[in-house]
Amino acid sequence: MAKLLFEWDYSSYPGAKTYPNLFQPIQIGNLTVPNRIKYAATEDNLNDHNGFVTDADVAYIRSRAEGVVGGLCFMQGVYMDEAQKGQGYVGQAACWDDKYVEGLRRLADAIHGERAIAGFQLMDCGRVGAVDVDRGHAPSTVPQRLRIFKPMYEMTNEEVKEMVRQHADAAIRGIEAGFDVIEISGIVGYLISNFLSSYTNRRTDEYGGDIRGRCQAMVEIIQEVKKVCGADIPVGIRLCSDELLNDVKGNTPEESMETYKIAEEAGADYISCTLGWQESIYPVISRDIPQGNWLYLAKRAKEHVKIPIQMAYRLFTPDRPNKAIGDGDLDIWEMCRSMIADPLMPKKVLEGREDEIRHCVACNLCLARLFRDAPMTCYINPTCAHEHDESFTPKPVEEDDKKDVMIVGAGPAGLECAYVAGMRGHEVHVYDKREEMGGTVLEASRAPYGDEELMTCPHYQKEMCEKAGVEFHLGAEVTEELIQDEMPDTVVLATGPVYSKIQGKGGDRKNVVNVLDVMAGTAEVGENVIVWGNRKPGIGVALKLAKEGKKVTIVGREKSAGFDVNPSFKWRYMIYLKQNGVMAYNDCDIEEINDNEIIVKTYDGYRLPVKCDTVIVSEREANDGLKNVVQAEGIELFVIGDALVPRNMSSAVHDGYRIGLRI
């Protein structure tokens, strides 16, 4: 009889009727999992730099455990060597000594407190490791492709055996801490994948050679970990189904499937199907990759092994995994970023509250921060990594402190502020001169490569506003008179930016148009286009027009195009600009505009003519409109989002949330 840790009955919930396959039990090893939901292991850089678990990490994991409604909740991968070669992140939890067990137990207890299954992950980061030491360890000394990673030295045969032992010892500590499932991380360029891959394993001893030889270290780890886990604790492994490393002679997809079969033979109780490496040149999880794109890999994996297959990778809504499970192509739906963005995502699915889900927009800021030694945050979830911090939780206001709040602008800043203030008990009115909510996201979401997903943010906010009793006044422009008539207690200006004027000659010509009008399709645009501004709005409009067949050149004042986009996404934009033939003059400005050309002035004073029939303005400035009026009336004033400083949707959301807490 398989072990069941917690009883769950989903039969009365609407989500279990809409997505019946997600709420069926499944057995992994000797353990029954009540549903098909898993929060996948996620580094968060929240632990202290000696590897001890912190309050912040415990609170972070507790909220994800609540979200999986009885399913699997994994803590981040732990590193296992005192020498810290396997440590990939400054705030990664450690497990190389018994002294860590107490902190790890807090995580297991927090997960069990939500009646979920506690997963423990073993993760030696290999080529991606050595974050705090000079050199890392690897099967062979293959030079790094990415400059942020340290050089590696080749492990001796004894060191490989020691590494196997470290996995088994760490598994013992995980079990002692109370975890129910042990998982070995063999993904994206970490140590086990380094052994498996023909790209990074050039050894000629028992741990190298053909695919069986390259799998030997993994086999020993699985076998040793299985030994210490016994029959009751399942052991799984995350393995690449396609490395996407053809250009450097990585494993073929056939070899990857061999690794799956060998892992099964060695005793793995399930496989989590992953793909790509940090070093691969193909995108895997950014917004430009359609959701569900990779499900065929889970299906292929299931054709090669009998043990359950789990998979994440751009499965942000329940419909696709529900269908894949029903079709027999997948067994367990894993989630990482969709539960960074909304820890309660699957719980809301179960409860039929899908409109209340704050969807991940696949920007990869969370990842970019980890690689720069910063604690994780989320682009659109202001409470991410602040779950432990009381001051981030909206608190009801006292009856006497309730205010009449006027919010000007129904973009992401205004809407975020509105629902938070509304939830706290203020009377909130949101005004916008447009008939539609969303602010400039309405236009930004018309850019190609998946940007339509940005609209999930205002959709969520609108839903939350309605729940919080916020009143909307759409198609209503706020004027001095309106403010004087209404005399609210507080005004929040979330009006968005103003667009800069080109100072050079010809800046007011008819062929100079605004980026929002171009995105909305209401401006006339010729065939030879200049986009003024090399931040994200400029890149978005440039890519849209280039894909429509126009010749586009960007002229911008920042030193590099996409200066405001995080590095884990920016590289995609750079490739798309190149693929679509978009030229960029960075660190430059427009000096003059004529009928058929502009004069570009470079940072060092050179002037060059560039052919063009239309100039699109995407440079922005802070918006001072209405500020003086509000101040003159002595009304409490907040300015947020791009109206304060033009930035991005993330800053708008975070500004809105924090001011919503403060009013």
Q: In terms of C-beta density within 10 A (0-12 exposed, 13-18 middle, 19 or more buried), how is residue 83 classed?
A: middle
In the list 177, 237, 365, 598, the residue contacting ligand SF4 (rule: CB under 6 A) is 365
361 binds, among ligand FMN, ligand SF4, none (CB under 5 to 8 A by kind): ligand SF4
How far is C-alpha 397 from the geometric centre of its chain's CA atoms? Answer: 33
| Residue closer to ligand FMN, measured from CB, 41 or 470 | 41
Torsion over CA of 20, 26, 32 and 36, rounded to 10 degrees?
-60
- Tokens at 151, concatenated: 């050089």
Render 170-225 in DSSP notation, one character per residue: HHHHHHHHT-SEEEEEE-BTSHHHHHH-TTT----STTSSSHHHHTHHHHHHHHHH
Contacts of range 113-116, beta carbons closer than 8 Å, 24 or more positions apart: 113/62, 113/65, 114/62, 114/65, 114/66, 114/68, 114/73, 115/5, 115/6, 115/8, 115/70, 116/6, 116/65, 116/66, 116/68, 116/69, 116/70, 116/71, 116/72, 116/73
588 interacts with ligand SF4 by CB under 6 A = no
**DSSP-derived secondary structure letter, 277:** B
**Which region, judged by CB under 6 A, interacts with ligand SF4, from 69-77, 84-92, 333-341, 586-594?**
333-341
- Choosing from 61, 108, 123, 325, the residue that interacts with ligand FMN (CB under 6 A) is 123
Of 310-318, 490-498, 531-539, 585-593, which part binds ligand FMN (CB under 6 A)?
310-318
Residue closer to ligand SF4, measured from CB, 340 or 543: 340
**Contact with ligand FMN (CB under 6 A) among 41, 307, 531, 659:** 41
Q: What is the layout of strands, in order, in the sheet containing 614-617?
A: 512-514, 614-617, 528-532, 551-555, 583-585
Closest C-alpha to 574, from 617, 615, 536: 536
349 torsion bin: left (phi>0), alpha (psi -120 to 50), beta (else): alpha
Q: Is 644 in the site for ligand SF4 (CB under 6 A)?
A: no
Tell me the HSE value of 630 on the side-chain side, using a 13 A CA sphere.
Answer: 20
Smallest separation, CB 276 to ligand FMN (Å): 9
| C-beta separation of 117 from 36 below 8 A | no
Amino acid at 456: T
Q: What is the DSSP string of 395-453?
A: -PPPGGG--EEEEE--SHHHHHHHHHHHHTT-EEEEEESSSSSSTTHHHHTTSTTTGGG
Of 192, 305, 361, 518, the residue at the interface with ligand SF4 (CB under 6 A) is 361
How many residues make contact with ligand FMN (CB under 6 A)? 24
> What, of ligand SF4, ligand FMN, none, does residue 513 touch, CB below 5 to 8 Å by kind?
none
Closest distance to ligand SF4 from the beta carbon of 285 (Å): 8
Q: How far is residue 612's CA from residue 504's CA, in Å, rounded to a whole number?
A: 16
CA separation for the pair 556, 561 (Å, rounded) = 7
For 383-398, the three-class secondary structure string (H helix, E strand, C coil) is: CCCCCCCHHHCCCCCC
**Contacted entry of ligand SF4, ligand FMN, none for residue 341, CB cut-off 5 to 8 Å set by kind:** ligand SF4
Q: How deeply is 579 buried, as exposed, middle or buried, from its count of CB atoms within 10 A (0-12, 13-18, 19+)? A: exposed
Q: How far is the CB of 510 from ligand FMN (least distance, A)?
A: 46
Binding to ligand SF4 by CB under 6 A, coded x per residue (else -) over 338-357, reads: --xx----------------
- Going by C-alpha positions, the residue among 408, 415, 433 that lies closest to residue 516 is 433
> Of 35, 84, 197, 338, which lies in the binding site for ligand FMN, with binding defined by CB under 6 A?
338
The nearest distance, CB 569 to ligand SF4, in angstroms, is: 9
Min. distance of Cβ 362 from ligand SF4 in angstroms?
5
CB 272 within 8 A of CB 240: no
Q: Interface residues for ligand SF4 in 370-399 (CB under 6 A)?
A: 378-381
Per partner kind, with CB cut-offs from 5 to 8 A, the member of ligand FMN, ligand SF4, none near residue 365 is ligand SF4
Binding-site partner at residue 198 among ligand FMN, ligand SF4, none, CB < 5 to 8 Å by type: none
| Binding of ligand SF4 by 363 (CB under 6 A) | yes
Q: Which does 47 bind (CB under 5 to 8 A by kind): ligand SF4, ligand FMN, none?
A: none
- With beta carbons less than 8 A apart as the criterion, state whether 312 and 334 touch: yes
Q: For the CB of residue 597, give the shortest distance to ligand SF4 in the complex, in Å.
A: 40
The stretch among 63-71, 311-319, 586-594, 636-644 that binds ligand FMN (CB under 6 A) is 311-319
Of residues 239, 370, 405, 555, which one binds ligand FMN by CB under 6 A?
370
Near ligand FMN by CB under 6 A: residue from 63, 87, 185, 280: 185
Stretch touching ligand SF4 by CB under 6 A, among 217-225, 288-296, 360-368, 511-519: 360-368
Q: Is 360 in the site for ligand SF4 (CB under 6 A)?
A: yes
Nearest to ligand SF4 of 365, 413 (CB atom) = 365
State the binding partner of 79 from ligand SF4, ligand FMN, none, CB within 5 to 8 A by kind. Answer: none
From the list 35-43, 453-461, 558-566, 602-610, the region that binds ligand FMN by CB under 6 A is 35-43
Beta-carbon neighbour count of residue 489 at 10 Å? 15
CA torsion 14-19-25-28 (nearest 10°) is -140
152 binds ligand FMN (CB under 6 A): no
Query: Please, what is the minimum distance in Å from the beta carbon of residue 67 to ligand SF4?
Result: 13
Cβ contact 31:369 at 8 Å: no
Our CB check for ligand FMN shows the closer of 279 and 589 to be 279
- Measured from the CB atom, is 67 or 414 closer to ligand FMN? 67
Check residue 187 for interaction with ligand FMN (CB under 6 A): yes
Rounded to a whole number of angstroms, the minimum distance from the CB of residue 320 to ligand SF4 is 17
Q: Phi, psi (5° rounding) for residue 516?
A: -65, -40
The reply on whether position 305 binds ligand FMN by CB under 6 A is no
Residue of 345, 366, 442, 565 interacting with ligand FMN (CB under 6 A): 366
CB of 18 to ligand FMN, least distance (A): 21
User: Is 40 a binder of ligand FMN (CB under 6 A)?
Assistant: yes
Contacts of 364 by beta carbon, 8 Å cutoff, 6+ apart: 285, 286, 566, 568, 569
Stretch that binds ligand SF4, among 224-232, 363-371, 413-421, 503-511 (CB under 6 A): 363-371
Lookup: tokens for 425: 């008990």
Is 59 exposed, middle or buried (CB count within 10 Å of its CB: 0-12, 13-18, 19+)? middle
Question: What are the residues binding ligand FMN (CB under 6 A)?
Answer: 40-43, 76-77, 121, 123, 185, 187, 238, 274, 285, 312-314, 335-338, 366-367, 370, 376
Question: What are the residues binding ligand SF4 (CB under 6 A)?
Answer: 337, 340-341, 360-366, 378-381
